[in-house]
Structure 1
């Protein structure tokens, strides 16, 4: 992170949402590319164009089960003697004469001397010959060498997410290794003496560590690898130890402990480790107590402990950073213009982000806010697929108001709707 650009903020400074997002854009760069075996490339991004090492198909081959022959104007009723068979992987070895045919299966190499294939359904077969039941035509039912991709042609463009279909294409091009930007590996740490795991007793004052289950699932949903660091109580020594362990990953996310209470120890723990502060606290709701910076060159996000605030900060700040790590150009977050379907409660003074449901209506989009918007309520997020942004100079909104919404991504790369 470059402090010379003025990104490093004093402890008492609060940035606007746009300013905080700009810090992330300037601070995060794409991970270094690596070479991996193709079978390990799922979910990575091509760091360079991937070129075929062979013609596709590698030879003229049959698109159907039938008979191959040299086209000479044959018509319905003509007879041709059958001299052999060409199977996929077992080609016919001889040369087919002009008045002969070879039985051929789908994928079989078209024998030398042949330039047409007629399917089984259009011939009448006898022991050693066929009689055409339809007129023949030149080049029918043949996949010609290189017609899909020629040797050296590009199979996958740089910046493409390698999913199952792209991997199949690259494999067909006989490319065993590819240069990629790997999936981000994210260390996940939740803090708070009050937290328990599912299945443990809920004694007075204890709550289930729901942020861990939410963020772990969300990161995997986006295509990240997760390094779980567990739950750490409000203890400086143990927090520092957990952050050091998290340096094995590309980014560290912690939840809770980033506000100004007596047990909000995350910021001080990081400071003692040499943390380079990008920003702490942002003029937004929910999600004001959010922290971002670098520790030994690794991204660190401190998210609020309240579930809906944690979720909003994750979607608005962490997801863009992870997309950049994964190879997406900075500043390419999707924003959709929407009309709200009903009144929205909002307070002036900060950007407000409202959880809700985005739906397409012909050439426009409608946004319906969730009924409960409390920062501590999971129900704010449940079923939502977007966050509506309400500017700080506006208060309550009436139905029909038009503004910007951030759709929630299902994957780090690719489309949003």
Structure 2
């Protein structure tokens, strides 16, 4: 069986899933989710012309003064319907509405006050309209402010609130079941005698899933026993995604494929032209997408970042679920690449991506020091330090760091 290119495998995986139906969430609940429909403003911002500085509201036609002071305007006030008379000024504060007829603000440090009269002593505003925020200069009612599929961070939440919204249509994160297989696995922190291994992948995958808004509804360790793995698969089929670690290769104890088929599922594709992570399995069981990751923890980390996290974002309605590489420069020479795309763990600093020293697929200590992946395409020639390269940093992948 030929190996599937990474980009084709990612496209086929996402094509299997349909974004989940949206629900209305409060602004606080919507943070981190993806907007399910374009968001239009319900009001003008600002609602009227506002002062951008503390000073005096005047008519530009009356420059250079002097002016007779006739009152003040603070933020939250509403102007009267009377127009500012010629030769008069009104004390005004940042965020306050401009009086009717006033079109310019003179900074308070540019005038002197003599009783009820102010005189220009500084440079002055220089042009009409200075230090004024015009009505609807940020946005107007009915303007489309946010597009569907945009992730809602703090700035987007603030914009939605200013636009007059308290509830937003957001797709929920998918429900995910994590199945870790292997006779050698014991729970983290449990006694670990010779021949046993702490189950790190489940904890890692849970952190990855919850970090991008997925909900873990099941997490368990399963021995290398085909009936047990098959039964666990059937029980996990209520999830939107079943992610397994271990058992995805071709050894006698690699049971994910036969267990999936024994549970009534189907394989869509298997084996990817990538290093690490070649023995990736993708299939379906009832309505659940099954993603079988390799058991080596670094391989599970890389394939999880490149396949599981984009799948979660796609279920949640992200407009661009796949991570986007950036251009950097190599911090060290790199060898030529064979018939698989290499994803090389690296440290990225000031645009320089330097491979970490130990690239073994089980070496988590070295992987935990990384904050990026260098992408080395199939057939890439040897490269020297300083050459351009494509890099996926941890934030772009959805990883902490």
TM-score (norm 2): 0.82
Query: What is the 5 A alignment of 1:392-411?
Result: 397=382, 399=384, 405=390, 407-411=392-396
Deviations 1:239-269 (A, max 9, x none): 4565455445432212123334454333333
Query: What is the alpha-carbon distance in structure 1 between the residues aligned to residue 79 and residue 11 of structure 2?
Result: 64
Residues 79 and 380 from structure 1, CA distance in 2 versus in 1: closer, same or farther, beyond 3 angstroms?
closer
Contact 2:55 2:108 in 1 (8 A): yes
Contact 2:10 2:307 in 1 (8 A): yes
Which position in structure 1 is the counterpart of 2:153?
Answer: 163
Query: What is the 5 A alignment of 1:26-65?
Result: 26-65=15-54
Contact 2:175 2:217 in 1 (8 A): no
Q: Does 1:101 align with 2:124?
A: no
Residues 37 and 129 from structure 1, CA distance in 2 versus in 1: closer, same or farther, beyond 3 angstroms?
same
Q: 1:225 aligns with which of 201, 214, 222?
A: 214
TM-score (norm 1): 0.79
Residues 141 and 260 from structure 1, CA distance in 2 versus in 1: closer, same or farther, beyond 3 angstroms?
same
Deviation at 1:57, TM superposition (A): 0.4
Deviation at 1:386, TM superposition (A): 0.9
Deviation at 1:358, TM superposition (A): 6.7
Partner SS, residue 375 of structure 2: strand
Residues 52 and 372 from structure 1, CA distance in 2 versus in 1: closer, same or farther, beyond 3 angstroms?
same
Which position in structure 1 is the counterpart of 2:201?
Answer: 211
Deviation at 1:292, TM superposition (A): 1.0
Residues 106 and 280 from structure 1, CA distance in 2 versus in 1: closer, same or farther, beyond 3 angstroms?
same
Deviations 1:4-37 (A, max 9, x none): xxxxxxxxx4543345445325434444444433
Contact 1:388 1:403 in 2 (8 A): no
Residues 265 and 62 from structure 1, CA distance in 2 versus in 1: closer, same or farther, beyond 3 angstroms?
same
Query: What is the alpha-carbon distance in structure 1 between the residues aligned to residue 341 and residue 52 of structure 2?
Result: 59
Query: What is the alpha-carbon distance in structure 1 between the residues aligned to residue 208 and residue 273 of structure 2?
Result: 25
Residues 192 and 121 from structure 1, CA distance in 2 versus in 1: closer, same or farther, beyond 3 angstroms?
same
Contact 2:173 2:215 in 1 (8 A): no
Query: What is the alpha-carbon distance in structure 2 between the residues aligned to residue 71 and residue 336 of structure 1?
Result: 50
Count, aligned residues: 392
- CA RMSD, aligned part only? 3.6
Query: What is the alpha-carbon distance in structure 2 between the residues aligned to residue 399 and residue 164 of structure 1?
Result: 41
Partner SS, residue 101 of structure 1: strand
Q: Does 1:381 align with 2:367?
A: yes
What residue ranges of structure 1 are gaps of 5+ in the alignment? Answer: 1-12
Which position in structure 1 is the counterpart of 2:78?
Answer: 91
Residues 248 and 67 from structure 1, CA distance in 2 versus in 1: closer, same or farther, beyond 3 angstroms?
farther
Which position in structure 2 is the counterpart of 1:341?
Answer: 332
Contact 2:247 2:256 in 1 (8 A): yes
Deviations 1:149-169 (A, max 9, x none): 121112123332221112211
Q: 1:369 aligns with which of 355, 360, 364?
A: 355
Query: What is the alpha-carbon distance in structure 2 between the residues aligned to residue 69 and residue 405 of structure 1?
Result: 56
Query: What is the alpha-carbon distance in structure 2 between the residues aligned to residue 61 and residue 367 of structure 1?
Result: 48
Contact 1:257 1:304 in 2 (8 A): yes
Which position in structure 1 is the counterpart of 2:318?
Answer: 327
Deviations 1:129-148 (A, max 9, x none): 43433456532322111122
Deviation at 1:301, TM superposition (A): 0.8
Partner SS, residue 410 of structure 1: helix
Contact 1:66 1:103 in 2 (8 A): yes
Query: What is the alpha-carbon distance in structure 2 between the residues aligned to residue 69 and residue 343 of structure 1?
Result: 67
Larger mean CA deviation between 307-316 and 297-306 belongs to 307-316
Q: Does 1:122 align with 2:110?
A: yes
Contact 2:345 2:373 in 1 (8 A): yes
Which position in structure 2 is the counterpart of 1:313?
Answer: 303
Deviation at 1:303, TM superposition (A): 0.9
